[in-house]
Chains A and B, each alone.
Chain A
Amino acid sequence: LAKTATPFLRGFATASEPITYTLPKNSFKAYDCESPSNEIEITREEIVEMYKQMVLMRRMETAADGLYKAKNIRGFCHLCTGQEAVSVGMEAAITKEDAIITAYRCHGYTMMRGATPRQILAELTGRTTGTSKGKGGSMHMFAKNFYGGNGIVGAQVPVGTGIAFTQKYMETKNATFILYGDGAANQGQVFEAYNMAKLWSLPAIFVCENNLYGMGTSASRSSANTQYYTRGQYIPGVQVNGMDVLAVKQACKWAKDWTTSDKGPVVMEMVTYRYGGHSMSDPGTTYRTREEIQHMRSTNDPITGLRLRITDLGFLTEAEIKTIEKEIRANIDEAVKLAQNDPLPDESEIWTNVYVKGSEPPTIRGREREEFGTFQ
């Protein structure tokens, strides 16, 4: 990642003064519209904050990896290691009133939308302190204006379009980021959603998180057209270097501005990469080479890339960076300990939340006729 901004001397830089940073030429590719500008306005605070968030996310996912191998996390566990720039850059470009929905690789987004690592790790270990009281698990995490965490590939795309529908109906000035992967991009319901979003001019931002593999199937083996940012056909699109958090932020800001000026939906393709397998059950090496993974780690890592920019711009010293990383490590270690010791949900919780509180039927049946939950 080339640096093209003039290095600042620490002494002259104030905390909140924005600098103009020029992103590399290959950051964006546009379809049927003008590309977002390569010049990004950003402050030192923002960049340092994004760095901290990516490091926190990486450590949290690594901790989840360990917990899964120790059998403290069960079932499915899909980690976003390597893809941190997408969720961090997106959150930096939007407000808490905008909405996000994604599929099952959702831990990073849940954190960016306001859940603490402790709440996320507790949900993964099925504790009552988890985001869904332990009743959802890895794939069903929610937060304010974050609609999951969805297990059925592609189903979240029409649902997200419905959230954008509400934003238009209620005349808010917000947008919805609707994420799906390169594998999901071929689902029919995605195209049904594209159609309605365009027809009704909804503030829908379709974001294809293209990590080059849908489970074990490479994009070229699943898709007749792998230019996912063009798949919206009548919807303009932008392809973004998803390993560069600043490019992601710039593109998301562009997309939000576009859709909230009643220009209708856009499609974005974030080209990114996951170091791990599809999930914790997948080593990730039967369908791609170790050299490829190593290459991506050493030349395209989002955290390393931002760190180089930070040190080049003189925003933090190496020592300060080390301190930040040490603090984050301690933070996550603490969260892991809590997540492993927090209480399991009370047994009565098996019956709750099937229906909205106060609207339950008098009884809910258990496994045999004498087992049931009652509501008054």
Chain B
Amino acid sequence: MTGSLLRNLVNAPSLKLLRNAGKRTFPCIGTFAQKRFLSSASENMVSSNYLILPLKEIRDFNDSSFMTVRDALNLALEEEFIRDERVFLIGEEVAQYNGAYKVSKGLLDKFGPKRVIDTPITEAGFAGLAVGAALSGLRPICEFMTFNFSMQAIDQVVNSAAKVCYMSGGTVECPIVFRGPNGSAIGVAAQHSQDYAAWYGAIPGLKVVSPWDSEDARGLLKAAVRDPNPVVLLENELQYGVSFPVPQEAMSPDFVLPIGKAKIVKEGKDVTLVSYSRTMNFCIEAAEKLEKDEGISVEIINLRSIRPLDIDTIINSVKKTNHLVSAESGFPHFGVGSEICALAMETEIFDYLDAPVERVTSADVPTPYAQNLEYLSFPNAEVIVKAIKRSLYKKGK
């Protein structure tokens, strides 16, 4: 997987080309066969304005299933809707608009307005409503158009959802998923670009996951929906259009990824590079460059899970490489990188390090609009290369 993936991404260093790579969309979405998946309850949901279209039974994909992150999420949503009638999607523009970023495209036509619900622009209200639905037996997926808007509703996520199982001594459960784009986009400036992984990652009672590629998106969304706890699923808008190969096993309708396990995306022996979500693209680009120009072998770990964070995978990797660099798009202070540094101090990582841990993060500024300044405010391959080199030259100096 790695070779062809690196070829795809290294030859498209600019973001514009990365976005165009996503034009190879998954062939089966939008085509339908004869078999109808309708329970009797679903029949009642049909209103005169919406058709329930027949759904293609999921099987027989060819081996090189290339799929955008968007299509992976769309298909995963569809499958979870079919699997459990209590699952529904609620958020702004998810239904008639087909999703602000088209992640929920076609779902209203397939499942009707009972399962796909457009809300007014009232985050605190509809997030709280979704929490109440979860407490009383449904399995809502609450979409925030971006996680920047989740701040309007953060009390409901933290105090009404995350803490309720504990406060009730286990008598009340909240099986909800909060999902939506997180972190950087392009040119959307300060109020629309923040990465909330560290904020939600700090809260006991939540699980927080962040996919990078299509397999992540599919497996983590399904895991999140099936998990009985509140789960925050931090996607990324720029990743939606990027295509990734999805292995055959991952196309099973019951494919889930375990929450709390990281994945070694590329093996290496000189330095461990830890990242999540969109920043992974820059990590891969940086690793290719270092391999080609300096013969440095980078091991790249895709966290997949912010909370719980899989420190064991990082420990085992650093035992091999003796160097650790984290790269993420959150603000530098009190962030995911800070957490990795703290864990490095407290675990065996400390004993195996030949250099201090390096953090690459967003700059400690509200995201600027001007393109040159914006470019300087987010991590990229160049900055990651610099941090890796610094980590390695510290050895024996």
B166 to chain A, nearest CB (A): 5
A166 touches B132 (CB 8 A): yes
A356 touching B165, Cβ below 8 Å: yes
Residues of B near A147 (CB, < 8 A) are: 132, 135-136, 172
**Nearest chain A residue, comparing its CB with the CB of B204:** A354
Segment of A42-50, A190-198, A260-268 engaged in the interface with chain B:
A190-198
User: Is the beta-carbon distance between B229 and A359 smaller than 8 angstroms?
Assistant: yes
Q: Which A121-141 residues have C-beta < 8 A from chain B? A: 130-136, 140
For the complex, give the distance between the alpha carbons of A69 and B114 in Å: 51
Chain B residues within 8 Å of A167, by CB: 136
**CB distance B129 to A161 under 8 Å?**
yes
**B160 contacts across to A, CB distance below 8 A:** 150, 152, 155-156, 159
A158 engages B124 (CB within 8 Å)? yes
- Quote the shortest CB–CB distance from A115 to chain B (angstroms): 11
Report chain B residues within 8 Å CB of A131. Answer: 169, 171
- Chain A min CB distance to B348 (Å): 12
A-facing residues in B110-157 (Cβ within 8 Å): 114, 119-120, 122, 124-138, 155-156
A101 to B260, CA, bound (A): 34
A127 to B155, CA, bound (A): 28
Shortest beta-carbon distance from A324 to chain B in Å: 32
The residues of B that contact A227 with a CB separation of less than 8 Å are none
Residues in chain B near residue A369, CB distance under 8 A: 346
Residues of B within 8 A of A163 (CB): 132-133, 135-136
Is B316 part of the binding interface, using a Cβ–Cβ cutoff of 8 Å? Answer: no
Chain A residues with CB under 8 Å of B213's CB are: none
**Least CB separation from A165: chain B residue:** B133
Quick check: is A214 within 8 A (CB to CB) of the other chain?
Answer: no
**By the criterion CB–CB under 8 Å, are A160 and B132 in contact?**
yes
A359 to B124, CA, bound (A): 27
A142 proximal to B (CB < 8 A): yes
Q: Which A304-362 residues have C-beta < 8 A from chain B? A: 352-357, 359, 361-362
B159 at the A/B interface (Cβ < 8 Å)? yes
Chain A stretch 154-177: residues in CB contact (< 8 A) with chain B: 155-167, 169-170
For the complex, what is the distance from the CA of A182 to the CA of B155, rounded to whole Å? 21
On whether the beta carbons of B125 and A165 are closer than 8 Å, the reply is: no
CB distance from A361 to the nearest CB of B (A): 4
**Number of B residues with CB within 8 Å of any CB on chain A:** 43
Instruction: Please name the residue on chain B nearest to A364 by beta carbon.
Output: B204
Q: Which of A148, A156, A166, A354 contacts B133 (CB 8 A)?
A: A166
Minimum CB–CB distance for A374 against chain B, Å: 13
Q: Which residue of B lies closest to A144 (CB)?
A: B171
Q: Take A356-B229, A359-B229 as given contacts and tell me if A158 and B127 are in contact as well, using a CB distance cutoff of 8 Å.
A: yes
Main secondary structure of the interface of A (DSSP, over half): loop
Distance in angstroms from B96 CB to nearest chain A CB is: 14
Give bound CA distance, A136 to B168, whole Å.
6
Q: Is there an interface contact between A353 and B136, defined as CB atoms closer than 8 Å?
A: no
Give residues 175-206 of A contacting B (CB, 8 Å): 188-189, 192-193, 195-196, 199
Contacts of B205 in A (CB 8 A): 354-355
Q: How far is the CA of A150 from the CA of B156 in the complex (A)?
A: 11
Interface assignment of B373: CB less than 8 Å from any CB of chain A: no
Contacts of A101 in B (CB 8 A): 132
Cα A121 to Cα B161 in complex, Å, equals 25
Find chain A residues with CB under 8 A from B122 CB: 189, 192, 195-196
Chain A residues, CB < 8 A from B134 = 162
A99 interface contact, C-beta 8 A: yes
**Quick one: given A158-B156, A170-B137, A192-B120, are A148 and B129 in contact (CB under 8 Å)?**
no
Are A133 and B169 in contact, with the CB atoms below 8 A?
yes
- By a CB distance below 8 angstroms, the chain A residues around B155 are 152, 155
B166 touches A354 (CB 8 A): yes
- Chain A, Cβ-Cβ closest to B131: A159
Which chain A residue shows the least CB distance to B133?
A162
Report Cα–Cα, A156/B165, bound state, in Å.
15
Return chain A residues, CB-CB under 8 Å to B133.
Answer: 162-163, 165-166, 169
Query: Is the pair A132, B171 in contact by a Cβ cutoff of 8 Å?
Result: yes
- Interface of chain A residues 99 through 117 with chain B (CB within 8 A): 99, 101
B30 within 8 A of A: no
Q: Which residue of B lies closest to A140 (CB)?
A: B167
- For B138, give its contact among A150, A169, A354, A357 (CB under 8 Å): A169
Residue B328 lies at the interface, judged by CB distance under 8 Å to chain A: no
Question: Are B126 and A192 interface neighbours, CB within 8 A?
Answer: yes
CB distance from A153 to the nearest CB of B (A): 10
Residues B169 and A136 in contact, CB atoms below 8 Å apart: yes
B170 at the interface (CB under 8 A from A): yes
Q: What is the CB-to-nearest-CB distance from B175 to chain A, in angstroms, rounded to a whole number?
A: 8
Residue among B120, B130, B138, B171 making CB contact with A195, cutoff 8 Å: B120
The distance in angstroms between the C-alpha atoms of A355 and B228, with both chains bound, is: 8
- Which of A135, A156, A158 has the most chain B CB atoms inside 10 A of its CB? A158
Can you list 29 pairs linking A and B with CB atoms under 8 Å apart? A130-B169, A132-B167, A132-B168, A132-B171, A140-B167, A148-B164, A148-B168, A150-B160, A152-B160, A155-B155, A158-B131, A159-B128, A159-B160, A161-B128, A162-B134, A163-B132, A165-B133, A166-B137, A169-B114, A169-B133, A169-B138, A170-B137, A196-B129, A199-B120, A356-B170, A356-B229, A359-B227, A361-B260, A362-B308
Closest 3 CB pairs of A and B: A162-B132, A192-B125, A158-B128
New contact pairs (10) apart from A132-B167, A148-B167, A355-B229, CB-CB < 8 Å = A148-B172, A152-B159, A152-B160, A158-B128, A159-B160, A162-B131, A162-B132, A193-B128, A361-B260, A362-B260
Interface residues of B (CB under 8 A from A): 88, 114, 119-120, 122, 124-138, 155-156, 159-160, 164-173, 204-205, 207, 227-229, 260, 308, 346
